[in-house]
């Protein structure tokens, strides 16, 4: 359906008045489209598409983590939050190695010189990671540690502890740590032990003979995960907060583990293993059982990275590299704990409000009247929830009303990432079963690193009588939808919720997402058809509003882009704005490049990996790519296309990646309500195009230019927080 009155301003520099208006997000029509030099439409006619080399995906992922690291560098960010961002980078790097590194490492092992993965590509990638890791530890040691000390917060090394501190640590070691440690001296009867993925360990070189008169020179000490990585030490004054790391506690008492022998060398170490589960789903009888068995082996996959202390001797590091069959460039010597991720415990232990962001309390969804029937409200209009500025409690209230309403007969929901054992949503689904309602849950067992939690939820729901299915063999069900069927008089009526994000109350406070409530007869009927398709695996239903991957989404998006390009070639108004988490699908990238070369004005808001080279003269100078890195993780997916008078606006669960288009069950749905369209355009697109505080801009050489005004500029997230009520809680 055409919406000729709507328009979307192309990205361009703003004067002070425009900056203020964008920052406040006043309720006004979208800005009138204007052309800029970078987005000037070309003359109508045939355009010869210029060839271009796409950016490297893995290097783009690392570039994203460099942008995240910048938040740990910024001195206007509260100190504990800076530490948190530092830990996020480490967590992201862990996942990068667990998922992306294996083919690179194998290329080195086999001496590959041609193809996508080669010795040269591994060395280039390793150099990038080594530099990023070095910057992390330099920031930690030279900036964050002194800053914490200035606030009386110190993680004491053994040499920094007073005699009283050492006595306390020694007693803690004997009481809490020593009983859990089993040092293993290596010899033919005691081979190198199984070392789990990302676990903390020590390698020790010994001098002297053991109890049997043998000189087993090397020993391994595994540190159980059950032990806290940061322990608080009694301070010398109330203003002090003193801590010790578990690695320093073990290190200080290594000699106690080998009485009668001399410890000559030692190092902490940590190995990262390939952890992406791969199952031949066609060849298993029960996916849940096969996955549970696979999870047991995940911790012992192929080694891809080795971290050791900076002072680790070459003898010990070479010994470990041989043991794990890794090339030299896979060795990372670090000046500090080998697992920075676990320093997030310090954030919780200190928990000083002065060193944290001011708490954000999402407001109750403004389009929902608290305490009134949500079903009745949806019969009047569709409703949009913009998380985390508005509360996920609106979704829980919708489900809770469905559970408690005796006229509700059935509830169907997809489950991708719902969180841990305390999920209120999952509890409500179980309660719905106990109240006699038909409950169907499509549980995605293969949600990466959430497999175990989802298996447990599937079993819990099945145990109370819910119908649980695992989607489609060979595909992940990534679509986010919740459908309620209610008896109203002599007919049944459906109420639906579609979302760009997961049904996870914790991440709903941290991720930006768009949730969409509707009682639209056609849309909810199509949702029901998709649920039936997932359960029966029959052919998907004919869909007029929903777009379903892997069947139609890729093709439809390509058609949308092509139509905009054709409009541009005719000299008509042509505009594309896409907000997504990643852009790596090559067909879509080439379609965007072609449309841009035809004269379309294109803005891409891509948080993470982006393989499209923007602003290359004569190739992509009509395309701008920006990445917003802020307090909240950008997660919403919004697709806007304008070709002449025809405008289309879609929300989706899918990123513009090949896996989302062809190997996942994904949904995109149109927004046709004029007011909701305008809200989405203003809040999720225009505000981000005018962001000069948190927006990094991709340059023609593949690098990202930092935000021009990171401390004083107008940020979209800040503007949305201001619009929805700053830190004032309005939750019902």
Q: What's the pLDDT tens digit per position in 204-241? A: 999 876 666 566 689 999 999 999 999 999 977 777 89
**Which residues touch 248 (CB under 8 Å, ≥6 apart)?**
155, 156, 157, 158
How many angstroms separate the CA atoms of 239 and 597, rounded?
Answer: 63
Catalytic residue positions?
478
Residue 301: its pLDDT value, please?
87
How many angstroms separate the CA atoms of 102 and 275, rounded?
Answer: 9
How many angstroms separate the CA atoms of 39 and 450, rounded?
Answer: 43
How many angstroms separate the CA atoms of 133 and 93, rounded?
Answer: 9
pLDDT tens for residues 258-269? 998 899 999 999
Ranked by mean pLDDT, the top range of 466-480, 531-545, 615-629 is 615-629
Q: How many residues does this entry show for the chain?
A: 732
Least confident of 40-44, 335-339, 497-501: 40-44
Band of residue 520 on the pLDDT scale cut at 50, 70, 90: very high
How many angstroms separate the CA atoms of 266 and 579, rounded?
Answer: 49
pTM of the predicted protein model: 0.90
How many angstroms separate the CA atoms of 297 and 273, rounded?
Answer: 11
- Angle at which helix 586-597 crosses helix 553-569, to 10 degrees, equals 10
- Angle at which helix 424-434 crosses helix 393-404, to 10 degrees, equals 10
Give the CA distances from residue 723 to residues 18, 31, 499, in Å, rounded to whole numbers and listed in that order. Answer: 16, 18, 22
Strand bridging mode 230-233 / 218-223: unpaired
How many angstroms separate the CA atoms of 136 and 70, rounded?
Answer: 10
pLDDT tens for residues 28-85? 333 333 333 334 444 444 455 667 899 999 999 999 999 999 999 999 999 999 999 9
Counting residues of the chain whose pLDDT is more than 70, the rounded percentage is: 86
Order of strands, sheet of 218-223, starting from the edge strand that comes earlier in the sequence: 184-185, 218-223, 200-207, 262-273, 303-309, 331-334
Structure tokens at 679: 């809200």
pLDDT tens for residues 562-593? 999 999 999 999 999 999 999 999 999 999 99
pLDDT tens for residues 359-389? 999 999 999 999 999 999 999 999 999 999 9
Cα dihedral 359, 364, 366, 368 in deg (nearest 10): 170
Strand bridging mode 547-549 / 637-643: unpaired
How many angstroms separate the CA atoms of 547 and 540, rounded?
Answer: 11
Beta bridge partners of 218: 205
Strand bridging mode 241-245 / 153-155: parallel
**Contact in structure between 185 and 216 (CB atoms under 8 Å):** yes
**Which residues touch 75 (CB under 8 Å, ≥6 apart)?**
none
Helix (H, G, I), strand (E, B), or coil: what is residue 667?
A: strand
Residue 418: its pLDDT value, please?
76
More confident site: 711 or 418: 711
Band of residue 415 on the pLDDT scale cut at 50, 70, 90: confident
Range 222-251 burial, b when 16+ CB lie within 10 A, else e:
bbeeeeebbbebeeeeeeebbbbbbbbbbb
Least confident of 80-94, 444-458, 559-573: 444-458
Band of residue 463 on the pLDDT scale cut at 50, 70, 90: confident
How many angstroms separate the CA atoms of 80 and 38, rounded?
Answer: 41
Band of residue 446 on the pLDDT scale cut at 50, 70, 90: low
Give me the domains of the chain, ranges plus CATH numbers: 53-58+548-724 (3.30.870.10), 79-276+304-349 (3.30.1840.10), 374-545 (3.30.870.10)
- 346, exposed or middle or buried, with CB in 10 Å at 0-12, 13-18, 19+? buried
- In 203-361, which ranges are continuous DSSP H helix? 246-252, 254-257, 287-298, 314-324, 344-350
Place of tokens 């979302």: 499
Residue 138: its pLDDT value, please?
98
Structure tokens at 389: 């500025």
């Amino acid at each position: 359906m055409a919406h000729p009155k709507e328009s979307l301003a192309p990205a361009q520099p703003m004067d002070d008045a425009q900056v203020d208006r964008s920052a406040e997000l006043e309720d006004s029509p979208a800005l009138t489209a204007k052309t800029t030099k970078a987005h000037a439409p070309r003359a109508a006619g045939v355009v010869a598409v210029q060839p271009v080399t796409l950016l490297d995906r893995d290097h783009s992922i690392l570039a994203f983590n460099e942008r995240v690291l910048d938040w740990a560098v910024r001195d206007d960010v509260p100190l504990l939050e800076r530490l948190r961002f530092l830990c996020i980078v480490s967590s992201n790097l862990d996942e990068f190695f667990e998922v992306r590194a294996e083919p690179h490492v194998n290329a080195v092992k086999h001496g590959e010189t041609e193809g996508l993965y080669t010795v040269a590509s591994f060395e280039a990638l390793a150099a990038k990671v080594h530099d990023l890791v070095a910057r992390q530890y330099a920031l930690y040691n030279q900036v964050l540690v002194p800053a914490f000390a200035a606030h009386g917060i110190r993680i004491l090394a053994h040499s920094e502890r007073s005699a009283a501190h050492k006595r306390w640590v020694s007693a803690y070691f004997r009481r809490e740590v020593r009983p859990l440690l089993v040092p293993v001296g290596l010899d033919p009867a005691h081979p190198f032990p199984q070392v789990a993925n990302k676990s903390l360990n020590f390698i020790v070189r010994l001098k002297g003979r053991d109890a049997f008169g043998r000189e087993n020179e090397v020993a391994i000490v595994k540190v159980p995960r059950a032990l806290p990585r940061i322990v608080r030490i009694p301070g010398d004054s109330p203003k002090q907060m003193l801590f010790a790391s578990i690695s320093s506690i073990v290190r200080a008492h290594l000699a106690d583990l080998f009485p009668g022998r001399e410890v000559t060398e030692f190092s902490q170490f940590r190995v990262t293993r390939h952890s992406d589960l791969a199952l031949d789903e066609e060849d298993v009888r029960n996916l849940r059982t096969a996955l549970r068995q696979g999870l047991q082996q995940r911790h012992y996959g192929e080694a891809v990275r080795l971290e050791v202390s900076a002072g680790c001797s070459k003898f010990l590091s070479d010994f470990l590299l041989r043991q794990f069959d890794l090339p030299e460039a896979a060795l990372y010597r670090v000046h500090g704990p080998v697992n920075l991720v676990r320093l997030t415990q310090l954030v919780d232990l200190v928990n000083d409000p002065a060193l944290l962001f001011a708490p954000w309390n999402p407001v109750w969804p403004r389009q929902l009247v608290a305490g009134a029937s949500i079903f009745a409200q949806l019969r009047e209009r569709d409703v949009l929830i913009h998380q985390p500025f508005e509360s996920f409690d609106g979704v829980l209230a919708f489900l809770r009303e469905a559970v408690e309403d005796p006229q509700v007969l059935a509830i169907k929901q997809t489950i991708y990432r719902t969180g841990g054992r305390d999920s209120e949503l999952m509890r409500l689904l179980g309660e719905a079963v106990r109240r006699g309602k038909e409950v169907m849950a499509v549980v995605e067992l293969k949600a990466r690193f959430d497999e175990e939690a989802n298996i447990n939820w599937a079993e819990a729901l099945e145990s109370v009588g819910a119908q649980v299915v695992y989607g489609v063999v060979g595909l992940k069900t990534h679509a986010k939808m919740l459908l309620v069927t209610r008896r109203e008089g002599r007919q049944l009526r459906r109420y639906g919720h579609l979302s760009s994000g997961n049904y996870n109350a914790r991440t709903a406070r941290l991720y930006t997402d768009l949730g969409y409530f509707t009682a639209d007869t056609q849309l909810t009927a199509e949702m029901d058809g998709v649920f039936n398709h997932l359960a029966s695996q029959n052919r998907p239903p004919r869909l007029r509003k929903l777009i379903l991957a892997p069947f139609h989404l890729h093709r439809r998006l390509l058609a949308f882009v092509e139509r905009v390009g054709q409009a541009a070639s005719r000299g008509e108004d042509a505009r594309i704005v896409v907000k997504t988490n990643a852009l790596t699908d090559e067909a879509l990238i080439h379609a965007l490049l072609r449309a841009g070369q035809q004269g379309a004005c294109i803005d891409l808001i891509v948080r993470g990996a982006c393989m499209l080279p923007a602003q290359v003269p004569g190739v992509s100078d009509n395309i701008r790519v920006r990445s917003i890195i802020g307090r909240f993780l950008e997660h919403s997916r919004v697709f806007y296309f304008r070709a002449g008078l025809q405008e289309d606006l879609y929300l989706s669960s899918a990123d513009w990646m090949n896996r989302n288009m062809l190997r996942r069950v994904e949904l995109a749905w149109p927004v046709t309500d004029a007011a909701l369209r305008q809200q989405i355009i203003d809040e999720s697109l225009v505000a981000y195009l005018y962001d000069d505080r948190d927006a990094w801009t991709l340059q023609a050489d593949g690098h990202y230019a930092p935000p021009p005004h990171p401390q004083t500029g107008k940020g979209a997230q800040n503007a949305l927080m201001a619009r929805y009520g700053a830190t004032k809680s309005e939750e019902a």
